[in-house]
């Protein structure tokens, strides 16, 4: 359904997938495997030289191809954290974002974010299960059994932090079976359309601006420092604008009717509206926008 490269799959590619609880767990596992792989090469005494780069806040997507090429040159292992956006890749029109994924070591998405599955359910694919297993496996006598000894089964206890596992596959399977791929695609596309609609509303009010390009169903916006449309044509500095937007978000969220998050992108405080809940419709987006406008108006007057 995601069209991942075969190198990430059990079926013939040598890779494999596992359901975990959360992205944080999945990243911890892949990071542990990466650490051990690297230390095997450079020696345990060089632990202090290892570096991790983290890169998310505004729904931006890194250009995977060029990034993985550079990573390869510098012996860097790459995990693609598509916790939120990963669900969109069931739609062919979003798959261009995955160009270059062949160069990565692992990929994960949260089915509990934008794929109608209840918390928790993170899907992780790795190219080299052996690296994960080497870092995480436990093999005490009391866990030995015929199936494991014969190497005919996947021992998922060696692909995760905990030993025991919940039956998460059941709820994901139910989502896949009950909606079907075309309904799931429509669900994602519907949310993206609503986010575009919200962008359109922002464009009609000169006080507001979309700060970073929208890729999926999340819009990062703010009251612009150039608060045109205000009777006083008041100019705000960036610091003041950040403070204003922070207060605006606080007052909106305090109503309990709309809940949005925020991020700071290159020093700019942005408010993030994400369309993602199962029952969200245009009326909710319009209502949220009205709420935002009214709060902005009250704060400006």
Tell whether residue 22 is a contact of ligand PLP (CB under 6 A).
yes
Distance in Å, CB of 265 to ligand PLP, minimum: 14
Closest-CA residue to 3 (of 110, 99, 126): 99
Per-residue x/- mask for ligand PLP, residues 73 to 102, rule CB under 6 A? --------x-xx------------------
**Shortest Cβ distance from residue 267 to ligand PLP (Å)?**
21
Query: Cβ 28 to ligand PLP, closest distance in Å?
Result: 9
Q: 3-class DSSP state for residue 166?
A: coil
Nearer to ligand PLP, 21 or 103 (CB): 21
Stretch that binds ligand PLP, among 18-26, 36-44, 151-159, 284-292 (CB under 6 A): 18-26
Q: Between residues 218 and 285, which has the closer beta carbon with respect to ligand PLP?
A: 218
Does 242 sit near ligand PLP (CB under 6 A)?
Answer: no
Q: How far is the CB of 63 from ligand PLP (least distance, A)?
A: 16
Nearer to ligand PLP, 67 or 83 (CB): 83
Q: Is 110 in the site for ligand PLP (CB under 6 A)?
A: yes
Separation of alpha carbons 131 and 129, rounded Å:
5
Query: Please, which residues have CB within 8 angstroms of residue 43's CB and are 6 or more apart in sequence?
Result: none
Q: Which is nearer to ligand PLP, 113 or 295 (CB)?
A: 113
Angle, helices 282-300 vs 238-254, to 10°: value is 120
Give min distance, CB of 271 to ligand PLP, in A: 17
Confirm or reject binding of residue 23 to ligand PLP (CB under 6 A).
Answer: yes
Closer residue to ligand PLP in complex, CB, 71/263: 263
Q: What is the DSSP string of 40-96?
A: HHH-GGGGGG-------SSS----HHHHHHHHHHTT---EEE-TTGGGGGGSGGGGG
Longest dimension (CA), the chain: 79
Tokens read off for 87 = 């669900």
Distances in whole angstroms, Cα of residue 66 to Cα of each of 8, 51, 127, 286: 19, 20, 19, 39
Task: Give how far Cα 23 sits from Cα of 18, 166, 186, 207, 241, Å.
Answer: 12, 16, 25, 37, 33
> Strands, E, within the chain: which ranges?
16-20, 79-81, 106-110, 122-126, 208-210, 218-223, 261-265, 268-274
Mask: binding to ligand PLP, 52-71, rule CB under 6 A, as x and -? ----x---------------
Count of residues that bind ligand PLP according to CB under 6 A? 9
Binding site for ligand PLP (CB under 6 A): 22-24, 56, 81, 83-84, 110, 122
């Amino acid at each position: 359904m995601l069209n991942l490269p075969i190198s990430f799959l059990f079926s013939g590619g040598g890779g494999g997938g596992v359901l975990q609880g959360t992205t944080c767990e999945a990243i911890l596992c892949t990071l542990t495997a990466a650490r051990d792989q690297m230390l095997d090469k450079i020696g345990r005494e060089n632990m202090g030289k290892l570096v991790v780069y983290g890169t998310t806040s505004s729904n931006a997507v890194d250009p995977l191809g060029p990034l993985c090429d550079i990573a390869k040159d510098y012996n860097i292992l790459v995990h693609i954290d598509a916790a939120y956006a990963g669900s969109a890749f069931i739609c062919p029109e979003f798959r261009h974002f995955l160009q270059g994924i062949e160069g990565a070591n692992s990929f994960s998405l949260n089915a509990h974010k934008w794929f109608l599955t209840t918390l928790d359910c993170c899907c992780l694919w790795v190219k080299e299960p052996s690296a994960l297993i080497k870092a995480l496996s436990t093999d005490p006598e009391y866990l030995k059994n015929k199936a494991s000894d014969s190497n005919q089964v996947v021992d998922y206890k060696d692909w995760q932090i905990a030993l025991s596992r919940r039956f998460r596959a059941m709820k994901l399977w139910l989502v896949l079976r009950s909606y079907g791929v075309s309904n799931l695609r429509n669900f994602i596309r519907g949310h993206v359309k609503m986010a575009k609609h919200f962008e359109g509303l922002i464009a009609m009010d000169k006080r507001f601006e979309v700060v970073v390009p929208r890729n999926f169903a999340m819009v990062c916006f703010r009251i612009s420092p150039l608060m045109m449309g205000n009777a006083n044509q008041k100019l705000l500095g960036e610091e003041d604008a950040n403070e204003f937007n922070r207060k605006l978000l606080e007052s909106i969220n305090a109503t309990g009717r709309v809940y949005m998050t925020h991020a700071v992108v290159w020093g700019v405080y942005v408010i993030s509206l994400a369309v993602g809940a199962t029952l969200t419709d245009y009326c909710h987006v319009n209502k949220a926008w009205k709420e935002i406008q009214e709060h902005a108006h009250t704060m400006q007057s």
